[in-house]
Structures are given as structure tokens and as C-alpha cells.
Chains A and B, each alone.
Chain A
Amino acid sequence: MTGTMGWRIFWLVLGALAIVAPWIITSGFWINFLILTLFLAFLGQGWNIMGGYGGQFSFGHAVFFGTGAYIQAILQSKFGWNPWLTLWFAMAGGVLVAAFIGYLSFRYGLRGSYFALITLAFAEAFRVLATAAEGVTEGGKGILIALNQDPERSFAMMQFATGTGYYYFILILTVLSLVVVWAMERSRFGAQLVAVRENEDAAEAIGVNAFRVKMGAICLSGAMTALGGVFYVQKFLLMDPNIAYGPTKSVEALVVPIIGGMGTVFGPLLGSAFLHTMGEITKEATQFFWQDRPGLDLIFYGVILVLVLAFLPNGLVGLIKGQWRGRRQGRAAERKKAVA
């Protein structure tokens, strides 16, 4: 589908806009809006690898996010390591936790809701652990990263004075995640992962080592999600047990690809853009019509979510693809009529 001319132009224009965006948008609010949209798209892509392509629904992706974030924060604040170095340890930590959870769950054949519950339980256990281990994590107080005062060293310290720096940082991460998933979709690993999602027994019968494929997916997903934690720490310079392992990040990571389209390259990005845009619109609209009614926008937001889930089982990507296919079939039918 992306091979057609129209789509190529669309992506080129979108890419160009993404690159020049900080020059067009000067308002800090909107740059922040873009940063958060891309951040959530990145987080959702991590979930998408395992949940969307692999069919292994995790309700506790915060366990990877938080582990990456804590390693990044602790190694910097306690040991004074450079953030560009700690990043690799953070990702390795995400992989380690992923491998541990994956091994336990998949070895014993946990599927579906059982797997979802296990991941949820792990995230919660890690949250309790992070709160209790005050010596390492500062407990509920949280860890603060020292603010970099020297503008010359902003890149070296991975702390940017303006939103623009963070914007490009997360833009690069998001594009990388798109490339990774795009390449995965076109590889043997990707094909086998989808086969496992569709039917594990049938996949085993035609030579797919389902255990190994699922382990690969959870480790890749864990690494990517941990990198999301790294970005979060560098942007907000703060980490505490609720941000790290609380349910918010777990839910965000799965809602975005579900809305956008599970098991598609652009689903998470689309879902994130849609959710953030709707969030802002409902906030503005409720303020305009009913003045200040805090919480009202969240109700609308919830209603929209339910509607999307009820009527778009394949997410926004499914909607766009369906439209496109419908148009093409319409055209083909017309051609047939013209011939007859």
C-alpha cells in the first residue's frame, strides 16, 4: 500500500513536516504536545511488537518502562555515569526482566488472560519493591537527576535546554522504532511471530519454535520500552515508583496500538496522534461550552475510546485500509462495467 505514488508523497511530506516542525511551531505548548505524542507512539510500538504482532497481551508493560527508567536514573544519580552509557544498561535491564517474565510464562504455556495477569502482577510487585528498597531507589520520594547547568554540555548530558532538542531526540527514537518494526514485518522472525499469534499449534506443526519466537518478541519489546523509560527520565529528570511501575504507563502503552491498529507498523503512531488530539479537543471544547468543569473532558475522552473500540476492531489503520480497498474495488467494478 505504501508503494503507491500517493502514499509515498504523503509520507515524504509528513517526514519533511516532522523535520521542520520546531521552526514552524514556536509555542512551547505545541512542541510539548508533539513530544508527548511521539513518546507515547514509541511506548505503544514496544507493546505492539509483543501484543500486536505476537498476540501476547501484556497489562504490565510498565515493568519494562520502569526498569529502564530506574536504571537510567540510579546509574546517573548514584554513580555519576554518563547518560549515553547508562542507556545501554537500561535497555539490557529491560531485556533481562523481559527474558525472566517471558521464560516463566512461556515455558509453562501461559496464554491470553493468564499472561496478561502475570505481567500485571510483575509490574505491581516491582512497584512495591521500588517503594520498599529506599536505599537504592529513594523509595516514594523518588530520584531527582541533577540539572545540567552548562549549555555546552547539553548533548553530552542528554539534557536539552529547549523543547526542540527533546523533540528531535524522541523523533529519532520513534523513526528508529518504525524502521525496526517495518523490518521485522518483512523478516522470517516477523512471519513466525504472526503465525504464533494466529495459531500456536499450527505454527509449531509447520516448524515454528513458538517458545523461542515469543522470547525474542518479549525481549525486543522490553528493550524498546526500557528505552522509553530512558527518554522519560532525561525529559522530566525525575523517577518514582508510581511513575515507573504504576498502571498509567501500562495502560497507555496498550491503548495506543489498540486504537491505532494492532500488528501494523503505523498503528501506534496513528493511535497516539489521535488520542492526544482528541484529548486536547475535548479539553478545549468542554472549557468553551461549560467553562471550568474539571474531569468532564475525561468523560468525553472515555466515550470516544469506547466508540473506537466498538466500531473499529482493526483500529484506525483498519479504517483507512478499508476505505482504500473499498475505493479500489469500486474503481475495478466501474472498469468492468465500462468493458461490458
Chain B
Amino acid sequence: MLEATDIIKRFGGLVAVSDASLTVPEGRIVSLIGPNGAGKTTLFAVISGFLKPDAGRITFAGTDVTGMRPHEVCRLGLVRTFQVVQPFANLTVRENIAAGAHNRIRGRAEALDHAGEVGKRLGMGGMLDQPAGALTVAGRKRLELSRALATGPKLLLLDEVMAGLNATEITEIVEVIRGIRDTGITILLIEHVMQAVMSLSDYTYVLNNGAIISRGAPREVAADPQVVEAYLGHGASERIAAGGAGA
């Protein structure tokens, strides 16, 4: 469904993404993990059209989308959410979601109706007429998700939708994401909450210093010495293997 090949993105002298490639098969949940500053969000921005890559190629559902603008990519069915949520603060929850629904729906009344349905499906039924600015962090994350979902995507890129949520809220949103996948929408997510990565994703890529250092089923990846070192520092995996008390 999505194929990013040899993506390079530089900011001045800094190489944020270097030769990263990843593939997301249809109907799966794929996760992208890595330490802070690894380049995960930059890679998302490149895939969704917010940044132009310096090299590499992105194809989505058979179309070359490299260098397309975000709204064009969205029309094709590839939608991202933002790590720092970006609600339309002066609008109600329903109006926020309807702005997404307008991607496929022309009529205002139909878009508002569809927004109500999507909102209810994601557990925002009671908040539809509240101003988005008044929502809690968890509410805003759900809104971000609802708005993206209302655009009628084939592939959702979720950038840390669980950051800042408590354990109960995480359990809820994991269910919500699984529910979205079950309706046939493919998902690529960036996440730091490992419990969620383990339980949700079918496949995991690990990004460090802009390069993919490991890939595979979540369990295999978590055991990969390279990955452990990327997170805990050089030599950490040997110390753990030696039965270090610190592990």
C-alpha cells in the first residue's frame, strides 16, 4: 500500500533521514519506533507531503506521491495526524470533524452528519457541540484521530496519539485504533508507549539517527541488540546479556 524507498532529508548540514526505506502492506498496523530525535516525525512529514525529500521515492496505492502537496496526498487517501495536536480551537468538535469530512463530501449538512457519526464511533458523542479548545489532552487526541478518519483515508499515519495519556486512556485508544484497522484502514504509527506497540503492530521499523537499524515482528525487534543499544547506550545489550542488575 505504501512504499518509501531510500528517503533522504537534510536540514542544512544535519541529515534527519538518511536512506530510510519502509513498506506498509494493506490492512496491517505497522509501527515506527526509535529514540527521541531519530527522525520519525520528519519521515512522516516527508511521506505526507509536508516536506520534500532530497532523494528517494514514495509510492502510495500504486501512485508516485513524491513531492505532492499534503492536500493532494490526502485526496488519494493518505492522511497524517500531528504529534502536537492541532485542533481548530474556535470551532466545535463536530465542526472540526466536518472539516475533515469535506474531503469527500461536498454538502455541509451531510458533512456535519458524517462528522457526528465518526465522533460517536470514536467515543466523542457527548462532546460534539463543545468548543475544541475546551477538550482535555485525551479528548484532543481523539479529535485529531476523528478528523483524520472523517476524510475517508485508506492509510492513516498516527504520530504519537498516545503521548500524554494515562493507562486507562491508552487501553481505550488501543481498542479504537484496532477498530479502525478492522474497518479496512491501514495504519502506520509512531509510538513510544511500548506496551501499545507490542500489542497493536504486526510489524515494526526502528529508526535511529535517521536510518532504519532494525525491522521485524515487534518481539524480535525488541530483542535486537542494536535496538537496545540505540535506546540505552553503547554496550547496554552486553551488560544485560551478562545478567546485569540494571536490567
User: In the complex the two chains form, what is the Cα distance from A190 to B79 in whole Å?
Assistant: 22
Chain B, range 28-51, C-beta contacts under 8 Å to A: 48, 50
Complex interface: stretch among A104-112, A116-124, A145-153, A201-209: A201-209
A191 proximity list for chain B (CB < 8 A): 95, 98-99, 102, 108, 111
User: In the complex the two chains form, what is the Cα distance from A208 to B95 in whole Å?
Assistant: 14
Q: Decide if A195 is an interface residue (CB 8 Å cutoff).
A: yes
Q: Decide if A323 is an interface residue (CB 8 Å cutoff).
A: no
B71 proximity list for chain A (CB < 8 A): 204, 207-210
Interface string of B168-180 (1 = CB under 8 A from A): 0000000000000
User: In the complex the two chains form, what is the Cα distance from A209 to B106 in whole Å?
Assistant: 14
User: In the complex the two chains form, what is the Cα distance from A151 to B29 in whole Å?
Assistant: 78
Interface string of A90-127 (1 = CB under 8 A from B): 00000000000000000000000000000000000000
Q: Decide if B63 is an interface residue (CB 8 Å cutoff).
A: no
CB distance B88 to A187 under 8 Å? no
CB distance A195 to B82 under 8 Å? no
CB distance B88 to A194 under 8 Å? yes
A186 proximity list for chain B (CB < 8 A): 108
In-complex Cβ contact of B79 among A188, A195, A199, A206 (8 A): A206
Who on chain A is nearest to B107 by CB? A188
Q: Decide if B56 is an interface residue (CB 8 Å cutoff).
A: no
Q: Decide if A134 is an interface residue (CB 8 Å cutoff).
A: no
Who on chain B is nearest to A195 by CB? B99
Q: Decide if B74 is an interface residue (CB 8 Å cutoff).
A: yes
Who on chain A is nearest to B148 by CB? A206
CB distance A206 to B100 under 8 Å? yes
Q: Decide if A234 is an interface residue (CB 8 Å cutoff).
A: no
CB distance A188 to B69 under 8 Å? no
Q: Decide if B70 is an interface residue (CB 8 Å cutoff).
A: yes
A199-B86, A199-B87 given; 11 more Cβ-contact pairs under 8 Å: A188-B105, A188-B107, A188-B108, A188-B111, A191-B99, A192-B99, A202-B82, A205-B79, A206-B99, A206-B150, A210-B71
B75 proximity list for chain A (CB < 8 A): 207
Q: Decide if A198 is an interface residue (CB 8 Å cutoff).
A: yes
- The minimal Cβ–Cβ distance linking B217 to chain A, given in whole angstroms, is 30
B105 proximity list for chain A (CB < 8 A): 188
CB distance B86 to A201 under 8 Å? yes
A202 proximity list for chain B (CB < 8 A): 82, 86-88, 147
User: In the complex the two chains form, what is the Cα distance from A201 to B74 in whole Å?
Assistant: 12
User: In the complex the two chains form, what is the Cα distance from A199 to B86 in whole Å?
Assistant: 7
Interface string of A197-224 (1 = CB under 8 A from B): 0110111111111100000000000000
- The minimal Cβ–Cβ distance linking B115 to chain A, given in whole angstroms, is 10
CB distance B103 to A205 under 8 Å? no
- The minimal Cβ–Cβ distance linking B181 to chain A, given in whole angstroms, is 20
Chain B, range 45-97, C-beta contacts under 8 Å to A: 48, 50, 69-71, 74-75, 79-82, 86-91, 95
Who on chain B is nearest to A185 by CB? B108
CB distance B147 to A198 under 8 Å? no
In-complex Cβ contact of B74 among A188, A194, A198, A205 (8 A): A205
User: In the complex the two chains form, what is the Cα distance from A210 to B72 in whole Å?
Assistant: 11
The verdict on A198 contacting B91 (CB below 8 Å), with A186-B108, A206-B148, A210-B71 known, is: yes
- The minimal Cβ–Cβ distance linking B124 to chain A, given in whole angstroms, is 16
The verdict on A206 contacting B108 (CB below 8 Å), with A191-B98, A194-B91, A198-B91 known, is: no
CB distance B80 to A205 under 8 Å? yes
CB distance B80 to A208 under 8 Å? no
Who on chain A is nearest to B157 by CB? A205
- The minimal Cβ–Cβ distance linking B134 to chain A, given in whole angstroms, is 13
CB distance B88 to A205 under 8 Å? no
Who on chain B is nearest to A208 by CB? B71
CB distance B74 to A207 under 8 Å? yes
CB distance A206 to B50 under 8 Å? no
A-B contacts, 21 listed (Cβ < 8 Å)? A186-B108, A188-B102, A191-B95, A191-B98, A191-B102, A192-B102, A194-B91, A195-B99, A198-B88, A198-B91, A199-B87, A202-B82, A202-B87, A202-B88, A204-B50, A204-B70, A205-B80, A205-B86, A206-B74, A206-B79, A209-B69
